[in-house]
Structure 1
Amino acid sequence: MHSTRVSRHVRARPSVVYRALLDADALAKWRVPDGMSSRVHEFDPREGGSFRISLTYDAPAGTGKSAAHTDTYHGRFVKLVPDAQVVEVFEFETAEPGLRGEMTMTTTLTEADGGTDVLVVHEGIPDGVPAADNETGTRMALENLAKLVETA
């Protein structure tokens, strides 16, 4: 198991960014890497609330963790600090041992330079998920987040 840290500055207030972290429709638009689409099956944004989300490769060559072309994960919100932090624990729905296990994702928002510094820390990433792939996907998602909240 390993961890990653990815950050990005966005030109939007922390309250705007925080809302995008806890809105299922917004999440489906931004928390998805390039070349994939997102479907939110379940989403209860409160401490203890659960979620279930699928990411599907647009190209048939993409190999999923849960199905042929899909990564499905489920989890729960562990900690919500309004306009400051979201802590989620989740795991892939897979029989593959190298991809199993709970991961913790902590997203911290810090007001800075007329916007928000967003830091995403993933801990407990299964060995079957290369750190570089996780970092790349997180960077893509944060770019999408910036596009979404900077135009809001």
Structure 2
Amino acid sequence: MARTDTASRVIAAPPDRVYSALVNPEALAAWLPPDGMSGRFERFDARPGGSYRMILTYTDTSTASGKSTADSDIVEARFVDIVPGVRVVQAVDFVSDDPAYAGTMTMTWEVTASGTGTRVDILAEDVPTGISAATHTAALTSSLANLAAHLEQ
């Protein structure tokens, strides 16, 4: 059965700044990797039909359990829909020989004005079975905390 994971957070920044951080590769590389990982893009084209390839590397390789290599996760993503200032929808695949990580996960990032800040909602649908719900939710929450720290400086 397909699984859906969610996370949300209100960030003390205006919606246009938050949205910009969702489609800017330098900003994404700074905040998207969850705690314990760093990230870099091999390519990035933020437009419907565009794509990116991101390498996420574990900081502590002694405890790493990467999906793609012993110490990394490689993500191939395609932008399915982009509504400027509102939503980014991506089809995400992990590069892995393990069938538990196979399948395309759809990730929707939505921004909504909320009081003096912006609410960011993440919806991850069809999460591969190899990713535990607790680990994935923690990673999504960590990325949102990183986004807040990046924008609230």
TM range (shorter): over 0.9
Match of 1:27 in 2: 28
Runs of 4+ in 1 over 6 A off after TM superposition: none
| Aligned-partner Cα distance in 2 for 1:117–1:58 | 29
Q: Where in structure 1 are there 5+ consecutive unaligned residues?
A: none
| Aligned-partner Cα distance in 1 for 2:59–2:136 | 18
Deviation at residue 139 of structure 1 after TM alignment: 0.5
Residue correspondence of structure 1 range 2-151 to structure 2 within 5 A: 2-60=3-61, 61-151=63-153
TM-score by length of 1: 0.97
Q: Where in structure 2 are there 5+ consecutive unaligned residues?
A: none
Secondary structure in 2 matching 1:125: coil
| Aligned-partner Cα distance in 2 for 1:17–1:144 | 12
- Sequence identity percentage: 40
TM-score by length of 2: 0.96
Deviation at residue 35 of structure 1 after TM alignment: 1.0
* Aligned-CA RMSD value: 0.7
Q: Deviations over 1:42-88 (max 9, x none)?
A: 11011110100011111122110000100001011111111110000
Secondary structure in 2 matching 1:48: coil
